[in-house]
């Protein structure tokens, strides 16, 4: 197989042998591909520095089997993420790595991922952008949430509260116990319409999407989520802790 100048976003690359990388790229028309970038780690490689995650490249490759050989790179741009958006980008990459198979094309997901990186590189809050990414990712992989109607096919009402079931969707709740997870109709509508601004609704949307993703992620937790949570703990503690021997 020979592919020329395929739009691609770099998900990950790891050192391979002495001078090479193995690159996981998410490409528009060929899905996730594994590419051997031979010699890319040499001091004088013309590819040096290009294969960083979140780079938007046009890639040419050839070969058969699990791993193709990278032939050429045309640099398009790099989405520079920092702070929360950097962890957000790593999280989105980890989701794509986990939930898509190699050589399984998802052009709309490619566009969604690029839009996410673009939005976050432009400074939009990761916490909002990621929710729409998760929504669209589920949709594209065939696990989409129905956000306009409940499990009984009645339209979602903004004032009502709903309970989420992974198999069947959202069910209206007559009464809500305080410790029971539930989501407001307004949150479902906001998520469907792509406008999440209120803090409480953002939190509900995050929990809902997490519950919807969980069955597909298996038992191994996402490392980026654990890292992000640990970091949020630091941020939550505004005051420096007293120095003690108790860690």
Partner 1 sequence: MAFSPALARLIDAFRVLPGVGAKSAQRMAFHLLQGERAGGAKLATALAEAVEHIQHCQRCRMFTESDYCEICRNERRDATRVCVVESPADVMALEQNTDFRGHYFVLMGRLSPIDGIGPEELGLNILRARLADGPVEELILAVGATVEGEATAQYVAELAERYGASVTRIAQGVPVGGELEYVDAGTLSQAFSGRRPL
Rounded Cα distance, 175 and 195, in Å: 27
12 and 23 Cβ atoms separated by less than 8 Å: yes
Per CB under 8 A, contacts with partner 1 among 62-81 are 75, 78, 81
CB of 10 to partner 1, least distance (A): 9
Per CB under 8 A, contacts with partner 1 among 139-168 are none
Which string of x and - marks every residue 75-114 that binds partner 1 (by CB under 8 A)? Answer: x--x--xxx--xx--xx-xx--x-----------------
When asked if residue 122 is in the footprint of partner 1 (CB under 8 A), the reply is no
Taking CB under 8 A as the criterion, the residue among 52, 66, 104, 180 binding partner 1 is: 52
Q: Residue 71: is it exposed, middle or buried by C-beta count within 10 angstroms (0-12/13-18/19+)?
A: middle
Helix residue ranges, H only, the chain: 84-99, 107-121, 126-140, 185-193, 199-217, 223-236
From 34-42, 135-143, 206-214, 220-228, give the range in contact with partner 1 by CB under 8 A.
220-228
From 10-18, 29-37, 140-148, 183-191, give the range in contact with partner 1 by CB under 8 A.
10-18
CB of 81 to partner 1, least distance (A): 8
- DSSP codes joined into one string, 149-181: B-TTSPBP-TTSEEEEETTTEEEE-SS--TTS-
Which residue, 93 or 119, is less far from partner 1 as judged by CB?
93
When asked if residue 199 is in the footprint of partner 1 (CB under 8 A), the reply is no
CB of 17 to partner 1, least distance (A): 6
Which residue, 197 or 239, is less far from partner 1 as judged by CB?
239
Taking CB under 8 A as the criterion, the residue among 2, 18, 197, 199 binding partner 1 is: 18
161 and 182 Cβ atoms separated by less than 8 Å: yes
When asked if residue 17 is in the footprint of partner 1 (CB under 8 A), the reply is yes
Rounded Cα distance, 202 and 196, in Å: 6
Distance of CA 43 to the CA centre of its chain: 32
Q: Residue 79: is it exposed, middle or buried by C-beta count within 10 angstroms (0-12/13-18/19+)?
A: buried
- DSSP codes joined into one string, 206-222: HHHHHHHHHHHH-SSPP
CB of 232 to partner 1, least distance (A): 9
In sequence order, the 6+-apart residues with CB closer than 8 A to the CB of 234 are none
Rounded Cα distance, 227 and 87, in Å: 8
Per CB under 8 A, contacts with partner 1 among 228-247 are 230-231, 234-235, 237, 240-241, 243-247
Nearest to 11 by CA among 94, 72, 85: 94
Question: By the criterion CB under 8 A, which residues form the site for partner 1?
Answer: 11-12, 14, 17-18, 24, 48-50, 52-54, 75, 78, 81-83, 86-87, 90-91, 93-94, 97, 222-224, 226-227, 230-231, 234-235, 237, 240-241, 243-247
């Amino acid at each position: 197989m020979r592919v020329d100048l395929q739009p691609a976003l770099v998900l990950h690359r790891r050192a391979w042998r002495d001078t090479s990388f193995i690159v996981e790229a998410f490409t528009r028309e060929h899905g996730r591909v594994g590419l051997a970038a031979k010699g890319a780690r040499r001091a004088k490689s013309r590819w040096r520095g290009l294969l960083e995650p979140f780079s938007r490249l046009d890639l040419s490759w050839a070969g058969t089997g699990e791993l193709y050989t990278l032939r050429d790179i045309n640099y398009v741009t790099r989405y520079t993420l920092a702070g929360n958006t950097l962890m957000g980008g790593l999280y989105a990459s980890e989701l794509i790595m986990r939930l898509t198979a190699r050589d399984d094309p998802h052009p709309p997901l490619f566009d969604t991922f690029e839009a996410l990186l673009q939005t976050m590189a432009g400074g939009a809050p990761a916490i909002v952008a990621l929710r729409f990414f998760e929504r669209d990712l589920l949709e594209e992989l065939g696990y989409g949430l129905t956000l306009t109607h409940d499990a009984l096919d009645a339209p979602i009402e903004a004032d009502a509260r709903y309970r989420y079931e992974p198999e069947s969707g959202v069910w209206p709740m007559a009464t809500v116990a305080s410790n029971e997870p539930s989501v407001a109709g307004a949150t479902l509508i906001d998520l469907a319409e792509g406008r999440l601004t209120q803090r409480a609704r953002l939190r509900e949307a995050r929990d809902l999407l997490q519950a919807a993703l969980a069955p597909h992620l298996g038992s191994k937790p996402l490392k980026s989520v654990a890292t992000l949570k640990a970091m949020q703990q630091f941020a939550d503690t505004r005051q420096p802790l007293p120095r003690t021997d108790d860690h």
